[in-house]
Structure 1
């Protein structure tokens, strides 16, 4: 867990007076995430989640919070942002942007079966369709431009073999990005970080997606690839579990059918999804930020996945 900005109950008391939640009764850091400071807060109105944003600006945050509200209003299970008495969703706390959202019930499913993957695929497709008419457009801030900016910052720390792998994959993604196939891919707001710890379940019932703070506009198939690369693998090896992958893909396809172009782009997007998280983990590992508590992720996990997606067989998308 990372807590970059500690918050005490004494800090929270006067700040909470602007929200329609009553008095703050307790606060506890959340043991996940390395980008923001997250807390469970108990109030007279119930339990909520407080996030202090360490990297995103006041100007960027309305996209994420208004997207969550838009999705909730369209029947997608996501946390609902809470406005203050001025109608603002983003408010300064300790000089940094902060927000409160409703807390989802259930817990993360860290050992998913096919039934869980199918539920995720169904809700992901519903999310993509629901966000089509969302009026704010913001690019995926961890996409190709960020890869170009970040690669030179980590290359000096890597072996010759890893330098070659990273440069070659960025070059491959550059080339694919310029093709007519890529430009024909359906796109819109995406979650872009839909890992197992960002979804809640109550048994086999999916209760919500959360942590939308890497969301942005990108291709929908990239979002599917990010999700499959986490939900449908053997964690120790990175090998895709075909049963889980097909369960997720078929459930998605039943709601929002995949296109022919997406079928062609599927393996390149699995590679792009692996590259994105390998690169971010390399950056966090070699360029760490100060934090009260920090558990870094292992970069080799996504290096392994990238190599497998480059060379291995992947389940084909269901195409009508």
Structure 2
């Protein structure tokens, strides 16, 4: 969500003529994140979010945007894409694929308590079930195939001990993905990036989930593990907070009970979720891209979390 491609109010106004939103009144870049160029925009019809996609190809975008529309139509509080006068929800702006979605109310909860984690666990389970009949298939583009492809690029930059940790964990995940337990895990479209800054609250009420641009088809348990590894940890140490973790798992389980395969796979999936973000942060750190307002993330945070998930037995799913 850093700004790689600036957009002026004049450029937005010209592009917005093709949408049923009236005249553009304001545009402001969003500084968090590192993948796309995002802006808050004001129009005569209200406030929206504009995204210019910096890395995703235009043929990939229907998965993300149609998934958001699919979920919104089923009562999941997510941003709804806005179609232009030709019915398209993706079109070019400044030579980049771009989309407008509705803006959620509230603000991110950066110091979540068990009540917030419970609300998120409940909605995550509902979101998984609501997406079961989504027809477009696309793999998680930051899943195992990407880990195998990216690890050799990152390894030359790492000291020997970190390199061994990374290589060993990728091999562990490759081996686990070949097991019957892994193949038995329920799966479907997942958010895959549901961090604290990708959900909105009004008080204790979850008002929405957004930023689906890392979504893909993967195991539901991986999606839950990604979420737990951010919402339920002490950010200074990476240690799981028991009260927050149990609140999220109990709320999720009340909507969608866990299978035996998921109980077996819980620790490997927590490790997988930590690996995914450690590796992506290593890649972004050593292969940086220029952008206005870009704030890179610290790779050591998820290195620490991965070491903990390997060493410790997590709270049980049931």
The alpha carbon displacement at 1:313 in A equals: 2.5
**Which secondary structure does the structure 2 equivalent of 1:18 belong to?**
coil
Aligned position for 1:232 = 232
Q: Is 1:63 paired with 2:68?
A: no
Q: Give the Cα separation in 2 of the matches to 1:2 and 1:187.
A: 31
For residues 43-66 of structure 1, what are the alpha-carbon distances to aligned partners after superposition, in whole Å with 9 as ceiling and x for unaligned? 000000000000101100000000
The alpha carbon displacement at 1:228 in A equals: 0.1
Unaligned runs of 5+ in 2: none
Q: Give the Cα separation in 2 of the matches to 1:292 and 1:131.
A: 35
- Whether contact under 8 Å (2:31, 2:294) holds in the other structure is no
Q: Give the Cα separation in 2 of the matches to 1:15 and 1:221.
A: 40
Length, aligned pairs only = 318
TM-score (norm 2): 0.99
Aligned position for 1:132 = 132
Q: Give the Cα separation in 2 of the matches to 1:294 and 1:201.
A: 25
The alpha carbon displacement at 1:156 in A equals: 0.8
Q: Give the Cα separation in 1 of the matches to 2:13 and 2:133.
A: 38
The alpha carbon displacement at 1:293 in A equals: 2.0
Aligned position for 2:93 = 93
Q: Is 1:177 paired with 2:174?
A: no
TM-score (norm 1): 0.99
Unaligned runs of 5+ in 1: none
Q: Give the Cα separation in 1 of the matches to 2:42 and 2:171.
A: 48
The alpha carbon displacement at 1:31 in A equals: 2.2
For residues 160-198 of structure 1, what are the alpha-carbon distances to aligned partners after superposition, in whole Å with 9 as ceiling and x for unaligned? 000000000000000000000000000000000000000
**Which secondary structure does the structure 1 equivalent of 2:200 belong to?**
strand
Aligned position for 1:80 = 80
**Which secondary structure does the structure 2 equivalent of 1:245 belong to?**
helix
Q: Give the Cα separation in 2 of the matches to 1:236 and 1:33.
A: 20
For residues 60-95 of structure 1, what are the alpha-carbon distances to aligned partners after superposition, in whole Å with 9 as ceiling and x for unaligned? 000000000000011101000000000000010011
**Which secondary structure does the structure 2 equivalent of 1:248 belong to?**
helix
- Whether contact under 8 Å (2:38, 2:50) holds in the other structure is yes
The alpha carbon displacement at 1:150 in A equals: 0.7
Q: Give the Cα separation in 2 of the matches to 1:33 and 1:109.
A: 16
Q: Is 1:104 paired with 2:96?
A: no
Q: How does 1:1-320 map to 2 (within 5 A)?
A: 2-318=2-318
The alpha carbon displacement at 1:158 in A equals: 0.3
**Which secondary structure does the structure 2 equivalent of 1:238 belong to?**
coil
For residues 11-61 of structure 1, what are the alpha-carbon distances to aligned partners after superposition, in whole Å with 9 as ceiling and x for unaligned? 111100000000000000112111000000000000000000001011000
RMSD: 0.6
